Structures are given as structure tokens and as C-alpha cells.
Structure 1
Amino acid sequence: MQMEIRMIIADDNSFIREGMKIILQSYEEIKVLTTVENGREAVDYCLKYDVDIALLDIQMPYLNGVEAVKQIVAQTKTKPLILTTFDDDHYILEAIQNGAKGYLLKNAEPERIREAIRSVYQGNSILEESIFNKLKSNLSGQHSSNSGFDPELFTARELSVIDLVAKGYSNRKISQELYISEGTVANYITTILSKTGLEHRTQIAIYYLTGRINS
């Protein structure tokens, strides 16, 4: 049966907002329920209606995307997906901590955006590799002075899995990258979660990038 992804788009730029709607509506599995121009409207809509994905800009009036993510995750079943520019490091990390499931760049190809929306809908987290590398580079100094992330806790293969999880790879993509079965990947992730006391994949990304374990 064909999936139907019910989503909203929140951006204070009407050109981006409506342009994104036209693009996404062209895919048969995506249904754009509405577009809104700030985080407050996004939260209110998700509280009233059954929304699968909320595509949110970070910088919006009244309520920014970071705070909107926090409220949406706390009060609804909607999965927030950030639509961001390239230079918002601290916002991106804060949004991860608030429960955002993924990050897209505004200049991403339409097919890449579609792929990310589908992946988040199916339960994966997405972090654009360019954003991941930028964050990792900017935070590398923190790792040297932060004892939170302890690579000695993990095997070499577990570290490889952590790195790919943090990049937003699905279990299938990790299995292809490491030439192991999806079941083996799932077992590694279960072991990593057990060792760290974390609960889900997005927290693994936070832990790996920042050295902090966040509940």
C-alpha cells in the first residue's frame, strides 16, 4: 500500500514556504496539509491535527524552530525535521537535544529532501553529511577536553556504527557501508545504547558530537 506522509511546512519566507509546498506536493506519497509562517503556528497546528512530519525553519518570529521542536516533541507524535542554512551550529545542536529527527539544507536537491522526509517518517534520523562534518570539526576541541565521550568504551566496529548513526544513516545503509547484515547493525546499536544508557539513535549523535549524554 502506498504510504501517505502528512506534513506541514513552517518558514517565515513565503517564497521558500510556498515553493517547497509545490515541490513536495509533486510527490504522490507526500501530502502538505498546510504552510505556516512561524513556530507558534506550527505547534498549534500539530496539536490540533494528525501530522507526521513538521518541516521547520530555525529562525522564525514568535517562536523559533528550536523551541518549536521542543514543544512539538513534548506534546505531539509529530516528527520535526529542520530546514536550515549552513551556519547555525549552536541552533542545530540545541534542536538535536530538543528532539529534532533530522536536518536539511535549504539548497538541497528536491529528491534529497524527499528521501530525508521518507527516512524520518520511517523512524530514522537524518543529519546532512556536510553539517555533520562541520559540527564535528567545530566540536573537535571539545572532545579533547571533554571526558564525556569515551572511545575506549566501544569496539572498533561499534565506533564505526556510531559514526554512521551520527551521520543519519539508516540500518540498511550502515549494513551496506560496513558489509554486515541489518540484524547485526541493530544488535550493535542495542549494545551501544546499553553501554551508554541512551534510549534512541538521535541521542547517540548528540553523545558522539558533544560528549554529553542527554535524556
Structure 2
Amino acid sequence: MKIRVLIADDDSLIRESLKIILGMDDNIEIVDTVDNGLKAVEMCAKNLIDIALLDIRMPILNGVEAAKKIAENTNCKPLILTTFDEDDYIKDALKNGAKGYILKNNSPEKIINAIKTVYSGNTVMQDEILDKIKEGLNYKKNYIDESIFTERELDIIKAIAEGLSNKEISCKLFISEGTVKNYITNILSKTNLKHRTQIAIYYLKGEA
């Protein structure tokens, strides 16, 4: 089964270029392209779309707001693909449901791999984005109240903040993937967070 992708970007050249490049992969089907965030939300609500590839700055509804609405109201996974790496954009996008944040200067292969990674249930943040979260967003590990977590839960939180998948965490900590998922469920319950991306932000910045 192919990964059904929607492309949302207000630049027609970028939209068409991405449509051609991504569509060359046998595992990806481009459902449609739109030029603003509102159209992206409407498309995801009316169609079976797996990944919404969203630019940040778009008219009517920007990528951050579109990601929030898509994440809240559909099963589609928003993935930010943009040229903008400002701190507020990164923080708000991840906080509001985006499953990844990558820049357009990546190679087509890396963008395709990011789509497949998010589709498989993991989060994608390239190194410079993760660095900005650590450094540009007042990175202070001491913000979190470690007393509410077990030692193993803290290990899981730190591993998620490092960008590790459940499989990678299970290998690192020598526990099963099912056990990792159980720990993540407990962490989400204790923090009232909704998904693992917010856990990473919780650890790196101290706020969900």
C-alpha cells in the first residue's frame, strides 16, 4: 500500500517540483497539492491522506495552525517542510501536532525518508532543528520535575529527546518495544501530554 501524501505550499514551483520528485518513489502517491493551510485541512478532512507535507508561511492558514487542526480532527500526520527555522515556528509546530520538522535544503532522498519515518509512527527532526530546540529555546533540563518519574521513565524520556524510535530505545535499554510503549503511556499520563514529540519538548525545554 502506498503512502498517500498531500503537499501544501504557496509556491507553485515548489509544489510541482515536490509532486514530481516524491511521486517517483514507488511507495508514495501524491493525492493533491494545495496553496494554503485551509485547503490542506479541508483535503485531509475529506480524503484518506497519510501525510500532510506543510510549509510554514502560507496564506489564510499557516502551516502551524493547519498542523494543529489536521492532528486534532483526522488520522493524517502533519510533517513540516519549510525554509524557516525560527524558534517560535519550531516550538509551536511540534507542540501543536506536527510529527516532524525538516528544512527544504534537504536532498529529495532525505525528504522521502522523513515521510516514510513519520508514516511508520516515528518523529523526524534533523540535527539543526534539534540543536535549536536545545540551545535556542532556553534549554534547561532542570525545568522538569524528575521526582514524579521512575528512573526507567527518565531513561525513556531522555531517549525520546535524543530522537530515538521505540525500536532504538528498546535496543539501547535492553527491553521490549511493548515495554517501551507502556512506559511512554505512563509518561503521557503523568504529564497530560498527547504524544512523544511533546515529551521531547517537555524534557528539552520544560514545557509541553
Q: Give ranges in structure 1 of 5+ residues lacking alignment.
A: none
> How is 1:58-137 mapped onto 2 (pairs within 5 angstroms)?
58-85=56-83, 87-137=85-135
Stretches of 4+ aligned residues off by more than 6 angstroms:
none
Shift of residue 191 of structure 1? 3.7
- Secondary structure at the aligned position of 2:29 is classed as strand
Counterpart for residue 8 of structure 1 = 6
1:73-114 CA-to-partner distances (Å, cap 9, x unmatched) read: 233221111012353210111112211111111112222222
- Aligned pair in 2 of structure 1 residues 107, 167: CA closer, same or farther (>3 Å)? farther
Two-structure CA RMSD over aligned residues (Å): 2.3
Query: 2:38 and 2:176 mapped to 1: Cα distance?
Result: 43
Contact 2:82–2:103 (CA<8 Å) still a contact in 1?
Answer: yes
Q: Give ranges in structure 2 of 5+ residues lacking alignment.
A: none
1:131-164 CA-to-partner distances (Å, cap 9, x unmatched) read: 01111111235656xx4x1234445554343233
- Aligned pair in 2 of structure 1 residues 151, 139: CA closer, same or farther (>3 Å)? farther
Contact 1:127–1:166 (CA<8 Å) still a contact in 2?
Answer: no
- Secondary structure at the aligned position of 1:108 is classed as coil
Residue 171 in structure 1 maps to residue 169 in structure 2: no
Counterpart for residue 38 of structure 1 = 36
Q: Given the two structures, how large is their TM-score scaled by the length of structure 2?
A: 0.87
- Secondary structure at the aligned position of 1:61 is classed as coil
Counterpart for residue 197 of structure 2 = 202
State which of 174, 181, 198 in structure 2 corresponds to 1:186: 181
Contact 1:128–1:167 (CA<8 Å) still a contact in 2?
Answer: no
Shift of residue 177 of structure 1? 4.3
Shift of residue 45 of structure 1? 1.5
State which of 136, 143, 154 in structure 2 corresponds to 1:138: 136
